[in-house]
Amino acid sequence: MAKADEQLSDKVLVVIGGTTGLGLSAARAFVGEGARVVIVGRNATNAARAEKELGKQCVALAADASDAATAEAAIAKALEAFAGFHGLYHVAGGSGRKMGDGPLDQITDEGWEFTLTLNLTSLFYSNRAAVRQFLKQKAGGTVLNMSSVLGFSPSAKHFSTHAYAATKAAIIGLTRSAAAYYASHSIRFNALAPALVATPMSERAQGNEEVLKFIGTKQPLDGGRIGQPEDLDAAAIYFMSDASKFVTGQVLAVDGGWCVSEGQH
């Protein structure tokens, strides 16, 4: 039985990239606030583990977000398993560094295509699937997209993956354009823009002493540290709940002070 103080007790949410890292942390928080969730991740083992942890309020799918059919299948599963669909949180994405992303003059064609598919095309597929279902339902809905501070606040020395930055900037453009277009349908689009957070994607940075020293002043809040996935949960809950029903087209940096700090010693 739903508790009166649960912010998401009437919501059925889909989290693309919800089986590890930021997405799993958010799914855990959503369930804690009463939501029922469908989470999607590429690794079947991670999906099964997450579903077991989150219990009967969760269904997990093992699928690739860069396949156009994945988000459609996840939304269909939400309707089948929980008889509703109220919000999409797209977290899936990652670094293309190992595939050839880097400074502009060094990016390979393969690195560019891989990074755009991983971060932008996958999000386009999920957002399109969500808005089509919301329009069909004629009851509004909310989409929350994962951007990054690197989309508008670059770091030349330590985070020079320009294809990645381009995708994260493009996510903001798509989010705001869609927010404007669909506002009259009560469909909201917003984005979160974290700085460096401890996730599987950021293992390189987490193990680099020079980067950690930089982060100590670039993200000076709370003693100067790398963010944790849980640091984004409250913001995600807000945007997926009715508390933000009058908010659209916004980009919230959850960044430990990154955007207002020089990162100098």
pLDDT digits (tens, 9 = 90+) for 1-46: 456 578 999 999 999 999 999 999 999 999 999 999 999 999 999 9
The helix (run of H) or strand (run of E) holding residue 115 is helix 109-116
Instruction: Return mean pLDDT, the chain.
Output: 95
Q: What is the pLDDT of residue 207?
A: 81
- The tokens for 33 are 């606030």
pTM: 0.96
Q: pLDDT tens-digit profile of 179-215?
A: 999 999 999 999 999 999 998 777 787 788 899 999 9
Structural domains of the chain in order of their starting residue, each with its CATH number: 12-256 (3.40.50.720)
Burial classification of residue 169, based on how many CB atoms lie within 10 Å of its CB (0-12 exposed, 13-18 middle, 19 or more buried): middle
* Overall average pLDDT of the 50-66 stretch: 98
Q: How far is CA 215 from CA 121, 165, 175, in A?
A: 30, 18, 28
Q: Which residues are catalytic?
A: 164
Residue 217 CB neighbours (<10 A): 14
Q: pLDDT tens-digit profile of 96-139?
A: 999 999 999 999 999 999 999 999 999 999 999 999 999 999 99
